[in-house]
Each structure stands twice: as structure tokens, then as C-alpha cells.
């Protein structure tokens, strides 16, 4: 499939957005991401539809979806997680995203083949050191909005920053995000958004 650089960027943005949020971006959201006009995005989207890369229901909002037969062979046949950014395992960091992917074969194949519910993050910091999660490691995350006490989660804090910590709901209703390193203090918040639960760790030596 022959896509222009702009078309490929929009194609990857739609994939990434669906992975992170569970739904497709609007034309305006794509335009804002790319700093171009909505008309420009619409033209590229129509071109992608014409080339068979994506589909769209004109009568439904957020209906952009990736055609499975449009994926590169190594992604369609294997298991490739979107590498959506880096996650702090020390002090929180600003949320970030990237267009990279992390291919893991069948190692972390999700139940029922729901690959879209999984993503990868590269760890920065040592606050989870005592649980074997080190700086530079990759954590494989199942996208979920709830967590049980003792699960390691990707948490979006009220400040807009994300962090990787162990989740505990306290009796007074507050949430304790517990590091696994005595050099770091727990983060206590009234609320946070659970973006996913860690199901695996990978390390490159």
C-alpha cells in the first residue's frame, strides 16, 4: 500500500488514538494533533479510505477504524504492541506518546486476541526497583479503568502527569500509589485515573 508521509502519519495517529482511548479521534482532534486545518485532514482521510487503509461510517461519530488487511505483514501476523511513550517509576513525568511499536511475538498474547487492549511503556526511574522493574525496562500494560489493591498500575494524576506505582485504596477513600523503593515516598491523592494494569516486564541487556 503506497501512502504519502502525511497519510501514514494520520494512519498511525488513528491506530495510536484507538489504542490509548479505545475509540477513534474526530477530524478536529486529528487536525489539532497535526496543526493543520480540518479540511486538510478530511482530504487525507478520504485518500486513506480510497486506498483501503481505513474505513469510516459517515453517519456515526468517531467511526474511523483501521482495516486489518492494511497492517504490514509482520504486524498482522505477529503480536506488536504500540510503544506509546515513557512512564515514570520515580517522580511523575508529563504524559507523552510516540509512533513506535514493540513486537513481542506470542510472549504476552492477550486473552481472545484483543491486541488493541494492550500497550507498552518504557520505564524511567527506579521507584519500582524492589519489584524488579528497573530504569529502561518495558512494561506491558492491559488497558483497564479499575484496579485491585496490590496491582501495579499506570496512573494519570490530577496534575496531568503519569506514574507507575502499586495501587492501594485506603479506608478513608484516598488512593495510595506505593513505590517499591525506600528512597521514594508514596503518592497520596484523592483520585486518579487508572489507565492500565501492568501484566509483564521486559528487559534488554
Q: Nine-digit cell at 175?
A: 488512593
Q: Is residue 24 flagged as an active site residue? A: no
Q: State the catalytic residue, choosing from 6, 165, 169, 190.
A: 165
Of 83, 136, 82, 74, residue with least CA distance to 105: 74
List of residues 6+ apart from 100 with CB closer than 8 A: 82, 83
- 139 vs 196: CA distance, rounded Å: 11
Q: Which of 48, 30, 50, 49 is nearest to 38 (CA)?
A: 30
68 is catalytic: no
Q: How far is CA 100 from the centre of its chain?
A: 11
Q: Output the CA–CA distances (angstroms, integers) from residue 132 to 89, 105, 151, 203, in the order listed.
A: 11, 22, 14, 10
The catalytically annotated residue of 109, 127, 169, 174 is 127
Helix (H) or strand (E) holding 75: helix 73-77
Q: Which letter does DSSP use for residue 195 in this model? A: E
Copy the grid coordinates of residue 130. Answer: 524492589
Active site positions, annotated: 127, 165
Amino acid at each position: 500500500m503506497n501512502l504519502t508521509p502525511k497519510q501514514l502519519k494520520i494512519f498511525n495517529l488513528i491506530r495510536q488514538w484507538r489504542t490509548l482511548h479505545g475509540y477513534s479521534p474526530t477530524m478536529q482532534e486529528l487536525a489539532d494533533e497535526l496543526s493543520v486545518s480540518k479540511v486538510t485532514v478530511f482530504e487525507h482521510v478520504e485518500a486513506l479510505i480510497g486506498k483501503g487503509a481505513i474505513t469510516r461510517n459517515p453517519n456515526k461519530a468517531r467511526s474511523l477504524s483501521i482495516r486489518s488487511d492494511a497492517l504490514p505483514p509482520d504486524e498482522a501476523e505477529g503480536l506488536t504492541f504500540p510503544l506509546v511513550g515513557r512512564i515514570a517509576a520515580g517522580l511523575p513525568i508529563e504524559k507523552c506518546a510516540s509512533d513506535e511499536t514493540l513486537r513481542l511475538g506470542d510472549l504476552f498474547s492477550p486473552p481472545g486476541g484483543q491486541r488493541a487492549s494492550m500497550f507498552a511503556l518504557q520505564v524511567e526511574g527506579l521507584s519500582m526497583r524492589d519489584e524488579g522493574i528497573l530504569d529502561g525496562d518495558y512494561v506491558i500494560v492491559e488497558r483497564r479503568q479499575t484496579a485491585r489493591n496490590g496491582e501495579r498500575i499506570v496512573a494519570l494524576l490530577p496534575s496531568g502527569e503519569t506514574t507507575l506505582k502499586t495501587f492501594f485504596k485506603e479506608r478513608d477513600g484516598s488512593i495510595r500509589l506505593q513505590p517499591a523503593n525506600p528512597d521514594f515516598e508514596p503518592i497520596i491523592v484523592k483520585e486518579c485515573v487508572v489507565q492500565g494494569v501492568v501484566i509483564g516486564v521486559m528487559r534488554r541487556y
